[in-house]
Structure 1
């Protein structure tokens, strides 16, 4: 999977901005949240993505992720994460994040 597919998709939403960090970790931030208040992170792998919300975003997107993908697939530094195989499913989550009324 190509991360630039998501990078381009994020730019379609005026409420979101994207920052790429070390290790191909992509941070999607909502314009109505300060960066220290939380983000949606994703990391591309060869055949899947790892998604993990942080901060206030956990309470907004955590239920959406659990409903769609079940229990978290693991934890990293105390943060739940989910592996997502389909690019369209990642886009659904990004769209839900963009449409949050925060």
Structure 2
């Protein structure tokens, strides 16, 4: 079994839930070192790789850039922001499309 690799030069980010703990960036996940917090975010969301810049935006600005081409469990493609709710649960936010 391959061990996780901690990424060098990752930004220093603090999760709002933990407040005092710097997040740890591994090759496939970003997580809190605080075992009581147990927060983690996979770098692959619905088939799309989420880069460090989007993780940084997600933590600091509460949402990523608009991500296109994600795939639902049913196999349908969708576009959305990944947002961090107040309770540090991740969710999707969809653009409002105005009907003509």
TM-score (norm 2): 0.31
Work out which of the two has the higher radius of gyration on C-alpha atoms and give 1 or 2.
2
**Greater length-normalized contact order (CA 8 Å, ≥ 6 residues apart):** 1
Tell me which protein shows more helix as a share of its residues. 1
